[in-house]
Amino acid sequence: MTGLDLSGLEIGFLTLAGMMLLIWLGLHVAVALGLTSFIGVWLIKGSPMVAASMLGAGTYDSIASHIFGVVPLFVLMGFLVSIADIGKDAFEVANQGLRRLRGGLGIATVAANAVFAAITGISIASAAVFTRVAVPEMLRYGYTPGFATGVVAGSSVLGMLIPPSLLMILYGFLAEVSVGSMFMAGVVPGLLLAVAYAVGIMLMARFTPGFVGGNKAAAANDDTPRMSGAEMAAKLLPIAGLIATVLGGLYAGFFTATDAGAVGATGALLIALAKRKLNGPKLWQVLVETGHVTVAVSFLIIGASLYTRMLALSGVPQFLVEQISAAGLGPLAFLAVYILLVILLGCFIDSSSILLIVLPLMLPIASGFDMNLIWFGIVTIVAVEIGLLTPPFGLSVFVIKSTLNDPRITLRDIFIGALPFAGIMLITLILLAAFPKLTLLLV
């Protein structure tokens, strides 16, 4: 007991509420986690010096490992492939064979986004790139603004599901599971979601043509020069080679996730140089942005580690496990409640913050039910990513709106356009939750 006559459990729940309040008020997530963790340990142990010592040791232990090199390497790779216009190349090739079909440009956007996702790990980057590349082309062919932006918003989430993925890296550290295994587990669910999007677009084009749009006359009279087989191969070969090297090397066991990041970053650098897309100022910009993202992710990991230690001292995770056992909730009921909670949080909080808040509480319960934590992680990431498309937060939607800078296309248009894709994600999530073998096929 403390001088305030509070139990460790009460302190744990109070710090949890305080942390949520601080995040809602706009404090950076890592700062909120660190601050509430310090106060929580102080109250539990009754000494600020003990709290400072414990949290200082926790800060070092949480980040002092060579495996954290995977973060800057994959971030650097993602920025380099963006500079090299690889997303644009993938869209142009997909566009060649699909643009004359009704809904074809939507399918081409999904296909290009899937390829782009395989060499970058940030959904927001995908949303920004394809807003510039795909939306103007779809509008030119008569597609509705809502559908054009909705396709980009929906397919952008593939960036966090198809490896490499920053969310998978973060989950791997929080759950103490192999990042490489997480990467391999994301391949089949990512491709499944991409196929589900393509099927959904074809069905929407067939049954709701007013929502999709598409001008057949514009497609028939299209005078865009056709690319030869050699030109398409020239655009796709570097992309395919990079994907095969990174994911193939991981799957074959030739190197670890950190090694794969180094190989991928080197390959992306060579592609950018070969395409003459990289000069001194651009390289410096890429390195600075990589540093910013790496530092932000590192602080998040440190904050999550401190938060987990404080919760363990308070006894909150153990209390929740006991309460769920006493209530007679089985693994299915727990999973349903957990998924609903994550989706609801996604309406208000960004993806990384959700992982940092809920996983320290929920991982012990999932382990208690003998759930495979790799599968649990993929289910979590899909549920979290639905929040990128749902109001009021909908980060991908806001990125698309700011990138477009077109007053004729409102946030409401983009949210409505993204709604069918959020529904497709939910159906895919239910399939992944019901059939874990889909996720664990390559692991």
Which residues are bridge partners to 143 per DSSP? Answer: 213
- Chain segment 85-114, per-residue pLDDT in tens: 777 777 777 777 676 677 788 898 898 888
- The pLDDT of residue 418 is 92
- The pLDDT of residue 403 is 83
Residue 415 pLDDT > 80: yes
Task: Check residues 64 and 371 and name the one with the higher pLDDT.
Answer: 371
How many distinct structural domains can be found in the chain?
Answer: 1
Mean local confidence (pLDDT), 322-341: 83
Q: Is the peptide bond before 392 cis (omega within 30 degrees of 0)?
A: yes
**275: burial class by Cβ within 10 Å (0-12, 13-18, 19+)?**
middle
- The pLDDT of residue 192 is 94
Residue 236 pLDDT > 60: yes
Confidence of residue 443 (pLDDT cuts 50, 70, 90): confident
Task: Check residues 86 and 272 and name the one with the higher pLDDT.
Answer: 272
3-state class (DSSP) for residue 143: strand
- The pLDDT of residue 189 is 94
**What share of the chain in percent tops pLDDT 90?**
18
Range(s) of the domain holding residue 287: 66-296+383-440
- The pLDDT of residue 428 is 96
Residue 397 pLDDT > 50: yes
- Chain segment 124-149, per-residue pLDDT in tens: 777 888 888 888 888 888 889 999 99
Confidence of residue 223 (pLDDT cuts 50, 70, 90): low
Residue of 210, 240, 187 lying closest to 81 (CA atoms): 240
Which residues are bridge partners to 354 per DSSP? Answer: none
Residue 348 is assigned to a structural domain of this protein: no
Distance separating alpha carbons of residues 337 and 343, to the nearest angstrom: 10
Are 356 and 307 within 8 A, CB to CB?
yes
Confidence of residue 3 (pLDDT cuts 50, 70, 90): very low
Residue 347 pLDDT > 90: no
**What share of the chain in percent tops pLDDT 70?**
93
Residue 322 pLDDT > 80: no
Distance separating alpha carbons of residues 141 and 107, to the nearest angstrom: 14
Residue 259 is assigned to a structural domain of this protein: yes
Task: Check residues 328 and 22 and name the one with the higher pLDDT.
Answer: 22
Q: Find which of 17-26, 292-301, 353-362, 366-375 is predicted with most confidence, using mean pLDDT.
A: 366-375
- The pLDDT of residue 157 is 87
Distance separating alpha carbons of residues 374 and 367, to the nearest angstrom: 11
Supply the mean pLDDT for the chain.
83
- The pLDDT of residue 104 is 84
pTM: 0.81
- The pLDDT of residue 2 is 45
Mean local confidence (pLDDT), 248-272: 83
Confidence of residue 218 (pLDDT cuts 50, 70, 90): low
Q: What is the full DSSP assignment across 32-72?
A: HHHHHHHHHHHHHHT-HHHHHHHHHHHHHHHH-SGGGGHHH
Which residues are bridge partners to 213 per DSSP? Answer: 143
Residue 291 is assigned to a structural domain of this protein: yes
- Phi first, then psi, for residue 428 (nearest 5°) are -65, -40
Residue 301 is assigned to a structural domain of this protein: no
Residue 374 is assigned to a structural domain of this protein: no
- The pLDDT of residue 1 is 43
- Residue identified by tokens 């054009």 is 148
Q: Is the peptide bond before 436 cis (omega within 30 degrees of 0)?
A: no
Residue 391 is assigned to a structural domain of this protein: yes
- Chain segment 153-185, per-residue pLDDT in tens: 998 888 888 888 888 988 998 888 988 899 889
Residue 49 is assigned to a structural domain of this protein: no
- The pLDDT of residue 225 is 64
Residue of 80, 439, 74, 125 lying closest to 257 (CA atoms): 74
Task: Give rounded-to-5 percent helix, strand, coil for the chain.
Answer: 80, 0, 20
Task: Check residues 59 and 361 and name the one with the higher pLDDT.
Answer: 361
| Tokens read off for 140 | 């030119």
Cα end-to-end distance, the chain, whole Å: 46
Confidence of residue 411 (pLDDT cuts 50, 70, 90): confident
- The pLDDT of residue 5 is 66
Low-confidence winner among 341-345, 390-394, 421-425 (lowest mean pLDDT): 390-394
Size (the chain), residues: 443
- The pLDDT of residue 55 is 76
Residue 31 is assigned to a structural domain of this protein: no
- The pLDDT of residue 424 is 95
| Tokens read off for 328 | 């007679």
Are 395 and 350 within 8 A, CB to CB?
yes
